[in-house]
Structure 1
Amino acid sequence: MIVDDHDIVRSGLVNMLDTFDEFVLAGEASNGEQALHLCDAHAVDIILMDLVMPVMDGITAIRHIRAGYPDVKIIALTTFEEEKLVQEALQAGAISYLLKNISVDELSRAIREAHAGRAVLSPEATQVLISAATQPPPPGEDLTQREREVLALLVQGMSNRAISAELTISHSTVKNHVSSILSKLGAANRAEAVALALNHKLV
C-alpha cells in the first residue's frame, strides 16, 4: 500500500513499483485514516507511509496500524529528516525510515528487507540517530523533583534559610540540595545556576 497526500508522489511510486513483477499494489491512500480503512478491507504486507499528511498524520497511522495489524511492515517514506520525526516514526512501529530521493533499486531492496523483517534506514536517518545518541544530555535532566523545587526558589532569589522555611526542611538539607544542583548543572555558584535554569527553562 502507498500512503501519501500528493497524487503525483503516489503516481510516481506506483510507476516505480510496476517495474517489479513481485510487487502487487494493495491500494492507495491520501492520509492515515484512509490507510486504516484499506487495512480493514485488504490483505496488506508492506506500507509505504508518508509522515506529514492531513486528517491523520503518518506517525498516528503507524501507531494504529501496528496495534491492529502487527504483521504489517511499515516503511516511513518522507522528505523530512528531523530527529523528532525519525525517532517518533520508529517508536510508533515503522521498520524502516527512508527519504523520497531514494532510487528505484534502493526502494525495492528496502521493501524486500522489510518483508523479511529487517530494517533499512537512510544514511540521513542513521546520522540523525547517531547524533542524538552521542549528544550529552541537556543540563538539569538528572535533577530530582526536590532539587527542582529548591532551584525554583533560588531563581526567586531566596536564601538557604528562607528555602528551609518554605519547604520545611533543615538548613543543612538545603545546603546539600544546593551543592548537588551546582554539581549537576556544572555551575560555579548560585548565580550561574540561576542563569542556567532560566536559559534552559528548568523551572
Structure 2
Amino acid sequence: MIDQETISVFVVDDHEVVRRGIASFLEFADGITFVGEASDGREALDRLGVMDAQGLLPDVVLMDLQMPRLDGAETVALIAERHPTVRTVILTSFSEVERVQAALANGASGYVLKDAASSEVEAAIRATQRDEVFIDAAVAGSLTKRLRGPGHGVGALSPRERDVLVLVGRGLSNHAIAERLSISERTARTHVSKILTKLDLSTRTQAALVAVREGLVEANPE
C-alpha cells in the first residue's frame, strides 16, 4: 500500500526506452513512486479505467504529446473529464507555443521539455500536489512574450476579478475557485470569462502567465 504522503505517477510514452528511463528515475525520487505505464493515449485511458475501478488511480500522469492512436493533448482532456482527481504533466520534445497552449487548455497541470533537468521533472510532479501549474522556463518565456504589449494589464480588473486571477494563476479550477471564494461555480466561470475578455486573452494558461508576470503569484515556488 502506498503511503498517503507518496505521489504515485503513471507514465505514458510510445518509446519503451523513455518509459524505462523515467521509471528508473522515479524510483529514486524521494516521496514519488512509479505505478504503471502505457504506450499511447488509448492504452492509458484503458488502464486508468481499470485502476479507477480498483480504487488505485495515480496522482499524476506524466505524458508525451505525440503518440499513435491518441495523442497527448486529446488524452489530457479525456483524463480531466473521466478522472478529475488525476493531474497530468506533459513531458515532450515540442516547445511550440500552440502545442503548449492546447495541452494546458485541455487541463494539463504542467509542461516540461525532455531535455530539462530531472529536478525540473520532479518539481513539476510535486507542483501538481499544490494545485500549481508548472511550466518549463524556456516554454514560459515564449508564452510570456506573446502576452507583452497593450491590452494585457490587470488595472481594468475589479477587486474580485483580481482575486480570481490570482487563483487561476495558482492553477485552481472553477470549482476550486468557487469553494475558495464562497461563490457559485457559475459565478466563478463568469469571472474567468470576463478576465479573459478584459485582458484580451483566449486561455486560462495565458491568464495564469499574466498573473505570474504581474507578480500576483510566484512562478514555480520551491
* TM-score, structure 1 as length reference: 0.64
Identity of aligned residues (%): 34
1:39-50 to structure 2, matched below 5 A, reads 39-42=48-51, 43-50=57-64
Q: How many residue pairs get matched? A: 137
* In structure 2, C-alpha distance between the alignment counterparts of 1:83 and 1:102, rounded to whole Å: 17
| Counterpart in the other structure of 1:23 | 32
1:115-194 to structure 2, matched below 5 A, reads 115-134=129-148
Shift of 1:71: 1.1
Structure number with greater Rg is: 1
| Counterpart in the other structure of 2:45 | 36
The answer as to 2:77 corresponding to 1:68 is: no
| Counterpart in the other structure of 2:202 | none
Structure with greater proportional strand content: 2
Gaps of at least 5 residues in structure 1 are 138-203
Shift of 1:21: 4.5
Shift of 1:60: 0.5
Q: Secondary structure at the match of 2:35?
A: coil
* In structure 1, C-alpha distance between the alignment counterparts of 2:67 and 2:113, rounded to whole Å: 16
Which of 102, 112, 117 is the equivalent residue of 1:98? 112
CA RMSD of aligned residues (A): 1.6
Is 16-25 or 83-92 further displaced after alignment? 16-25
The code of the aligned residue for 1:25 comes to F
Structure with greater proportional helix content: 1
Shift of 1:136: 8.4
The code of the aligned residue for 2:101 comes to Q
The code of the aligned residue for 2:48 comes to C
Which of 77, 80, 83 is the equivalent residue of 2:94? 80
The code of the aligned residue for 1:5 comes to D
CA contact (8 A) 1:83 1:132 kept: no
CA contact (8 A) 1:4 1:30 kept: yes
Shift of 1:108: 1.5
Gaps of at least 5 residues in structure 2 are 1-9, 52-56, 152-222
Q: Deviations over 1:31-83 (max 9, x none)?
A: 00011112112211101010000000000000000011111110011000001
Q: Deviations over 1:104-159 (max 9, x none)?
A: 2222122111122111110121012112223789xxxxxxxxxxxxxxxxxxxxxx
